[in-house]
């Protein structure tokens, strides 16, 4: 009977360049040697692994008579072996199934949460180890990895030498960087909304760089929220395109409009899109009133929500523009002109989205609080309450 061992995923579920597994326990070495062959086809023995402790080993896992997978192996000890393979989901599932047939059991740890909080001083390295497999971008991985190389210790050592006012400044920056860390758990939602035929779906596709949603000149083409994740400024966000708002919408369109309400409560940024040539004495006020009427219930946006007003189709002749947009908006309104036919306007929009959601990005090696517990500990240290 095979000896038991555990299998832990070191990289997140989903497609990626590399997929890593950790085998640990009494049966780890035996199961691994039953599958692994060196590059020249020679089988592997425990003595081979003992002679190559902490040295990268290249070879193949034999998964069946017809299938094998190239892997890089790190044999830490007889009871701890790392396997690094191609990152495709199908490859990982095949390796897991084979290992389970030899006595392995996958250990599934609960996903870390922003609300996680340790008693007293956080274990920064352990918490970084837990969140590292869930990073989606290189920037996220970089600021998580800093916790393994002394960034927290440097931060608190520097804080200990600061004046109270300087500590307050450091804390404000840490709180801003915590917004960046929150993307590890849930990418912030950016909601695209506006009247029908304003070009919302075309803008979504332009920001993403591929056609995620259908586009047509007929009003009401988008009847439900269409969401997709992308990366802006090195951080993941979730873009949601919504049904166009208009009076006289049909039953399906009306349902789509009503679904905007919960999305407004969740979104950190709303992109309100207007056709710069569409008529109207006050398009923003008319849209807001129509949205409220169509929603048929109170609209309560996220209290931390920002808004960018997009004047779309700016490539059209200046004479075709609605005169309202020349001086009808308050000076404090954040307005950007866009056109899917002018890529530079899409680039400016992406930059503005990044600056609105993430006004501060971490410097190389800078400490970033990875969860609410670490942020609270920062606050306590900066207030002189603990060290």
If DSSP codes are grouped into helix, strand and coil, which group holds residue 362? coil
Domains of the chain by residue range = 5-106, 124-184+362-382, 189-341
189-341 is a CATH 3.40.50.300 domain: yes
- Angstrom CA distances, 103 to 63, 65, 79, 96, 125, stand at 15, 20, 14, 11, 30
Q: Given strand 269-275, what is the order of strands in its sheet?
A: 226-232, 235-241, 189-193, 269-275, 306-312, 335-338
pLDDT in tens, the chain (387 residues): 678 899 998 887 666 778 899 999 999 999 999 999 999 999 999 999 999 998 999 999 999 988 899 999 999 999 999 999 997 888 888 999 999 999 999 988 788 899 987 778 899 999 998 898 888 899 999 999 999 999 999 999 999 999 999 999 999 999 999 999 999 999 999 999 988 889 898 899 999 886 655 444 444 444 457 888 999 999 999 999 987 675 555 555 556 666 777 888 889 999 999 999 999 989 999 888 888 877 777 777 778 899 999 999 999 998 899 999 988 888 888 999 999 999 999 999 999 999 999 999 999 999 999 999 999 999 999 988 755
Q: What is the pTM of this model?
A: 0.77
Q: Do 222 and 241 contact (CB within 8 A), yes or no?
A: yes
Fold of 5-106: Gyrase A; domain 2 (3.30.1360)
Query: What's the CA gap between 76 and 41, in Å, rounded?
Result: 22
């Amino acid at each position: 009977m095979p000896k038991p061992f555990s299998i832990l995923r070191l990289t997140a579920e989903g497609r990626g360049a590399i997929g890593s597994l950790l085998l640990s326990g009494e049966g780890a070495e035996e199961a691994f040697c039953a599958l692994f062959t060196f590059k020249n086809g020679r089988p592997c023995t425990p003595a081979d692994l003992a002679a190559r402790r902490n040295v990268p080993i290249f070879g193949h896992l034999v998964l069946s008579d017809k299938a094998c997978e190239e892997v890089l192996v790190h044999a830490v000890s007889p009871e701890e072996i790392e396997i690094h393979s191609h990152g495709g989901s199908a490859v990982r599932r095949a390796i897991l199934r084979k290992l389970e047939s030899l006595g392995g059991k996958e250990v599934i740890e609960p996903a870390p949460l922003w609300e996680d909080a340790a008693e007293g001083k956080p274990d920064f390295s352990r918490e970084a180890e837990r969140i590292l497999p869930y990073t989606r971008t290189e920037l996220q991985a970089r600021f998580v990895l800093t916790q393994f190389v002394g960034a927290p210790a440097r931060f608190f050592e520097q804080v200990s030498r600061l004046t109270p006012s300087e500590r307050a400044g450091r804390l404000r920056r840490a709180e801003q960087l915590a917004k960046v860390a929150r993307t590890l758990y849930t990418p912030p939602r950016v909601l695209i909304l506006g009247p029908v035929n304003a070009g919302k779906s075309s803008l979504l596709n332009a920001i993403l760089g591929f056609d995620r949603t259908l586009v047509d000149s007929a009003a009401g083409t988008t009847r439900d929220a269409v969401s997709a994740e992308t990366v802006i400024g090195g951080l993941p966000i979730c873009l949601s395109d919504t049904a166009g708002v208009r009076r006289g919408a049909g039953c399906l369109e009306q349902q789509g409009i009503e679904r905007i309400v919960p999305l407004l409560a969740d979104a950190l940024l709303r992109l309100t899109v207007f056709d710069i040539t569409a008529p109207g004495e006050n398009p923003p006020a008319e849209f807001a009133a129509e949205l409220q009427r169509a929603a048929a219930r109170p609209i309560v946006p996220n209290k931390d929500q920002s808004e960018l007003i997009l004047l779309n189709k700016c490539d059209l002749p200046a004479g075709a523009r609605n005169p309202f947009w020349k001086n009808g908006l308050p000076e404090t309104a954040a307005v950007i002109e866009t056109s899917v036919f002018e890529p530079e306007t899409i680039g400016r929009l992406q930059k503005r989205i990044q600056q609105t959601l993430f006004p501060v990005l971490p410097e190389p090696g800078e400490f970033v609080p990875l969860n609410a517990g670490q942020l609270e500990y920062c606050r306590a240290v900066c207030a002189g309450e603990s060290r």
